[in-house]
Amino acid sequence: MAKAEDSLPLPEGPDRVNYAIGVLLGAEDFQAEQDYHRSRLARALAYAMGHGTLAGLEVTHEPEQPADATNPAKSERLLVAPGLAIDRLGRMIEVVKPRCLKLDEWYLAQSPQLLRQAWHDSGNLWTDSPSGVAADLFVRFVVCERGKTPAFASDAFDSFDSVTAARLRDGFEMELILRQETTPPVPQPQWPDFSNDAANLRDAIFNAWREGSAYSSLQGIDPLPEHVPGQDTSSLFLARVLLPADQAPAGQRPARRTTETVELRNDLRPFVVTANALARWLNIQVMADV
Q: How far is it, in rounded angstroms, from Cα 153 to Cα 81? A: 42
pLDDT of residue 27: 87
Q: What confidence tier does 155 reach under pLDDT thresholds 50, 70, 90?
A: low
Average pLDDT over residues 162-187: 90
Average pLDDT over residues 83-99: 95
Average pLDDT over residues 55-59: 97
As a whole number, the mean pLDDT across the chain is 88
pLDDT of residue 12: 63
pLDDT of residue 13: 63
Q: How far is it, in rounded angstroms, from Cα 235 to Cα 144? A: 16
pLDDT of residue 158: 56
Domain ranges of the chain: 3-14+24-65+73-185+232-281, 189-223
Instruction: Assess whether pLDDT exceeds 50 at residue 214.
Output: no
pLDDT of residue 213: 45
pLDDT-above-90 percentage for the chain: 54
Which has more pLDDT, 138 or 221? Answer: 138
pLDDT of residue 286: 72
Average pLDDT over residues 258-272: 95
Render the chain in DSSP notation, one character per residue: --EE--STT-SS--------TTPPP-HHHHHHHHHHHHHHHHHHHHHHT-SEEEEE--EEEE--B---SSS--B--EEEE-SEEEE-TTS-EEEE-S-EEEEHHHHHHHS-HHHHHHTEE-TTSSSTTPPSEEEEEEEEEEEEEEEEEEE----STTS-TT-EEEEEEEEEEEEEEEE--SSS------SS---TT-HHHHHHHHHT---TTTTTS-TT-SPPPTTPPTTS-TTPEEEEEEEEEEE---TTSPPEE-TTSPPEEEGGGS-B---HHHHHHHTT---S---
Average pLDDT over residues 112-132: 95
Total residues found in the chain within this entry: 290
Tell me if the pTM is above 0.75.
Answer: yes
Low-confidence winner among 35-39, 59-63, 175-179, 233-237 (lowest mean pLDDT): 35-39
